[in-house]
């Protein structure tokens, strides 16, 4: 990593960081990190997690069991791809089960003893933190690892899967405006749902039984924009270039707003550290906020926007903010941690102002709020 000599280079967190130059040992795509003991891309990581425990006889090679695996051919032969995963040193014992993630995550708020948390399923992170000098406990490391996994499983993978289903050709065809608007709504929904899915899983919220979910739900729209910034920063949106989405947003937004948004993304990319964990902790901490709201003029707020906030959610937020702070200090040192956090808050407030201007534009369209109503109804069930 360039430009980050101020970061700690302790190897104990390599499993949580991107080396942006590394390539996947299976297919050669840009790697997202060390997964199951080998540097791989997200696609191969997901492939391995889905298939490593399935009996290998399920896949059969239609050729001579020596298919070349590249980014272009990796989908053609699952048998050879899985063989290559094992050959390159990926270990299926390191796959953390969904049950393990849930157990460790639910322990987040009520902290468990060290002994209890040393589950054999979490050995990767356990063995590397033995010489860790930071204030992060073993519980903390387990939780960080689980958050990272939940993000990939519930946010990134569904995003990539849904993206593969949408043909890019659609946006280049001269479709009628109504159809394009629906595409825009689908896109907004896609970005929203992945954040919803991540937050629900990592915090184990079941909206049908948890009354408190309503408080969190109101914050998720603002978080989806923050999450887009993050997806664009790492390698994940490489196959979903912004240009395709931009022409859909051009239908409803002004060039000025779009340029501000692009500038905003640029600032985010250049000022936030190459770290896969920090932003997830921000997302979770912000989800527990007493209502994130776009920064409008004073007269545009409603008194209902400031309802009382349950104490247990404030306590949960405290827990995650403490974890966030400990982790940021560990990664950046106290001085840079303060600078970075101030920058992040500034970035987030700017985003809220941008969001308010976007809402003003779509609220004042000729359709008298129909688009807003449509977006709301599409998102409201989640
Ligand atoms: Zn790969
Ligand atoms: Zn093959």
Query: Residue 269 has what pLDDT?
Result: 81
Per-residue pLDDT of 158-172, as tens digits, reads: 877 776 555 444 444
Q: What is the pTM for the complete model shown? A: 0.65
* Ligand nearest to the CA of residue 64, numbered in listed order: 2
The answer to whether the beta carbons of residues 147 and 202 sit under 8 Å apart is: yes
DSSP tag of 56: G
Structure tokens at 65: 């069991």
* Ligand nearest to the CA of residue 83, numbered in listed order: 2
- CA dist., res. 348 & res. 201, Å (int): 24
- CA dist., res. 11 & res. 109, Å (int): 28
The answer to whether the beta carbons of residues 29 and 41 sit under 8 Å apart is: yes
Query: Residue 136 has what pLDDT?
Result: 79
pLDDT, tens digit only, all 382 positions of the chain: 334 333 333 333 333 444 556 789 999 987 777 788 888 887 888 888 778 877 655 788 888 999 999 988 888 888 899 999 999 999 887 776 444 544 444 444 333 333 333 333 333 333 334 344 567 777 777 778 778 888 888 888 887 777 655 544 444 455 566 677 888 888 888 889 999 989 888 877 666 666 777 788 878 888 988 888 888 776 566 555 677 778 888 888 889 999 998 898 888 888 888 777 889 999 999 988 877 777 776 666 666 666 677 787 888 888 899 999 998 988 888 898 999 999 999 999 999 899 888 888 888 888 777 787 888 888 877 7
Cα separation values, 352 from 225, 300, 339, 355, Å: 9, 14, 20, 5
Cα-to-centroid distance, 91 and ligand 2 (Å): 20
Cα-to-centroid distance, 42 and ligand 1 (Å): 7
The single residue listed with the structure tokens 């322990």 is: 107
Q: Where are the alpha helices (DSSP H) in the chain?
A: 42-51, 78-87, 98-106, 114-117, 123-128, 138-151, 157-165, 169-172, 177-203, 213-233, 242-249, 255-271, 278-287, 311-363, 370-379
CATH code linked to domain 11-94: 3.30.50.10
- Outline which parts of the chain fall under CATH 3.30.50.10: 11-94
- Outline which parts of the chain fall under CATH 1.10.565.10: 138-379
Query: Residue 26 has what pLDDT?
Result: 95
Angle at 262 between CA 256 and CA 3, to 5 degrees: 145
Query: Which positions ≥6 away from 22 have C-beta within 8 Å?
Result: 30, 31, 33, 39
Structure tokens at 236: 């994940």
Residue 62: CA atoms inside 13 Å, Cβ hemisphere, count? 3
The answer to whether the beta carbons of residues 302 and 33 sit under 8 Å apart is: no
- Assign 12 to helix, strand or coil: helix
**381 DSSP β-pair partners:** none
Closest CA to 81 of 102, 106, 54, 116: 54
Per-residue pLDDT of 226-269, as tens digits, reads: 888 888 776 566 555 677 778 888 888 889 999 998 898 888 88
Cα-to-centroid distance, 87 and ligand 2 (Å): 14
The DSSP bridge pattern shows strands 33-35 and 38-40 to be antiparallel
Structure tokens at 364: 């004042």
Cα-to-centroid distance, 81 and ligand 1 (Å): 9
Query: Residue 241 has what pLDDT?
Result: 63
* Ligand nearest to the CA of residue 80, numbered in listed order: 2
Cα-to-centroid distance, 284 and ligand 1 (Å): 29
* Ligand nearest to the CA of residue 46, numbered in listed order: 1
DSSP 200-256: HHHHT--TTT-TTHHHHHHHHHHHHHHHHHHHHHSGGGGGS-HHHHHHHHTTTS-HH
Query: Under CATH, what is the fold of the domain 138-379?
Result: Retinoid X Receptor (1.10.565)
Cα-to-centroid distance, 74 and ligand 2 (Å): 10
Cα-to-centroid distance, 22 and ligand 1 (Å): 11
Longest dimension (CA), the chain: 71
Cα-to-centroid distance, 28 and ligand 1 (Å): 6
Kindly tell me the burial class for residue 57, based on how many C-beta atoms sit within 10 Å of its own C-beta (0-12, 13-18, 19 or more). Answer: exposed
Angle at 158 between CA 96 and CA 93, to 5 degrees: 15
Closest CA to 186 of 210, 211, 162: 162
The single residue listed with the structure tokens 């191969």 is: 44
Closest CA to 355 of 195, 224, 170: 224
Query: Residue 206 has what pLDDT?
Result: 65
């Amino acid at each position: 990593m360039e430009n980050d000599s101020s970061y700690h280079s302790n190897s104990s967190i390599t499993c949580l960081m991107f080396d942006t130059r590394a390539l996947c040992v299976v297919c050669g795509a840009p790697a997202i990190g060390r997964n199951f003991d080998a540097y791989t891309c997200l696609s191969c990581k997901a492939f391995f997690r889905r298939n490593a425990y399935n009996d290998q006889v399920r896949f059969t090679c239609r050729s001579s069991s020596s298919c070349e695996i590249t980014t272009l051919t990796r989908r053609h032969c699952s048998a050879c791809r899985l063989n290559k995963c094992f050959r390159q040193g990926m270990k299926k014992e390191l796959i953390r089960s969904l049950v393990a993630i849930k157990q460790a995550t639910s322990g987040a708020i009520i902290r468990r003893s060290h002994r209890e948390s040393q589950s054999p399923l979490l050995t990767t992170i356990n063995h590397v933190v033995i010489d860790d000098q930071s204030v992060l406990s073993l519980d903390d490391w387990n939780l960080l690892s689980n958050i990272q996994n939940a993000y990939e499983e519930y946010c990134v993978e569904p995003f990539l899967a849904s993206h593969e289903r949408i043909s890019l050709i659609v946006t280049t065809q001269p479709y009628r405006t109504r159809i394009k608007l629906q595409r825009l709504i689908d896109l907004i929904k896609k970005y929203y749902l992945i954040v919803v899915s991540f937050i629900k899983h990592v915090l184990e919220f079941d909206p049908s039984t948890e009354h408190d979910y309503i408080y969190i739900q109101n914050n998720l729209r603002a978080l989806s924009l923050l999450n887009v910034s993050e997806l664009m920063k790492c390698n994940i949106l490489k196959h979903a270039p912004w240009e395709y989405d931009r022409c859909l947003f051009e239908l409803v937004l002004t060039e000025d707003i779009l340029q501000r948004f692009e500038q905003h993304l640029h600032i985010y990319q250049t000022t936030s550290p190459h770290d896969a964990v920090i932003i997830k902790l921000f997302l979770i901490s912000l989800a527990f906020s007493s209502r994130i709201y776009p920064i409008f003029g004073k007269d545009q707020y409603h008194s209902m926007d400031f309802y009382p906030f349950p104490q247990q959610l404030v306590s949960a937020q405290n827990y995650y903010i403490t974890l966030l702070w400990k982790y940021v200090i560990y990664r950046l040192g106290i001085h840079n941690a303060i600078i970075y956090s101030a920058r992040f808050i500034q970035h987030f407030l700017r985003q809220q102002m941008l969001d308010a201007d976007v809402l003003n534009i779509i609220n004042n369209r000729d359709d008298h709020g129909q688009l807003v109503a449509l977006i709301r109804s599409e998102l409201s069930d989640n």
